[in-house]
């Protein structure tokens, strides 16, 4: 996770699930700064799980990109996220997002379902609900997919091929405008 340490970003949900997360075959890295209560709580957890949880309480853009590029998954359980950029950065690096499907996260992360995998459009994992149980369910589904090397690599290749650039957005708008019927000077 690279995030502002705030309730809006779902950090309380991560803390609620933390002990059970640490029982899974994963390592969690958290980079960010924010609310002192989250600094303290994650600091205590990192001390309790030194080989499995690392936290850096600072803003460091270079380290943020290294984390996103070096991770296999990126956790983003935000309560609201008008756009969201970290899921886009993560996908560009081939890091699969695990998100609460709100706002821009819903718009950009197509959920990993059997149907979406078959169609070749899956981009990540959605929490079925914003709760510790929902977070654990999504992380468990992601870990299961990660265990299938062929499936995981196809997911990674797909997300790395996506184009979220302004040039792609401009082309999409231009295409939309070209399809609109002439309005006789009226919108």
Res 183: pLDDT: 56
CA distances from 107 to 97, 103, 133, 153 (A): 13, 7, 23, 23
Summarize the confidence of residues 91-119 as an average pLDDT.
Answer: 97
pTM value is 0.92
CATH code for the part of the protein at 7-179: 3.40.50.2000
Summarize the confidence of residues 24-43 as an average pLDDT.
Answer: 97
Q: Which residues pair with 29 in a beta bridge?
A: 54
- Interatomic CA distance for residues 29 and 134, integer angstroms: 20
DSSP assigned state of 7: G
Q: Which of 36, 38, 45 is nearest to 9 (CA)?
A: 38
Q: Where are the domains of the chain?
A: 7-179
């Amino acid at each position: 996770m690279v995030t502002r340490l705030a309730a809006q970003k779902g950090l309380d949900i991560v803390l609620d699930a933390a002990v059970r997360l640490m029982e899974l075959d994963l390592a969690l890295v958290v980079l960010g700064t924010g609310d002192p209560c989250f600094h303290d709580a994650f600091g205590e957890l990192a001390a309790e799980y030194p080989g499995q949880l690392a936290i850096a309480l600072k803003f460091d853009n270079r380290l943020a990109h290294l984390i996103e590029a070096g991770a296999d998954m990126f956790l983003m359980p935000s309560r609201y996220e008008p756009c969201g950029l970290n899921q886009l950065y993560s996908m560009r690096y081939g890091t699969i997002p695990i998100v609460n499907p709100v706002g821009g996260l819903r718009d950009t992360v197509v959920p990993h379902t059997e149907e979406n995998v078959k169609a070749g459009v899956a981009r990540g994992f959605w929490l079925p609900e914003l709760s510790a149980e929902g977070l654990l369910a999504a992380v468990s589904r992601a870990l299961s997919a990660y265990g299938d090397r062929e499936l995981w690599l196809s997911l990674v290749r797909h997300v790395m091929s996506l184009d979220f650039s302004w040039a792609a957005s401009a082309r999409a708008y231009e295409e939309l405008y070209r399809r609109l019927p002439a309005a006789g000077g009226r919108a």
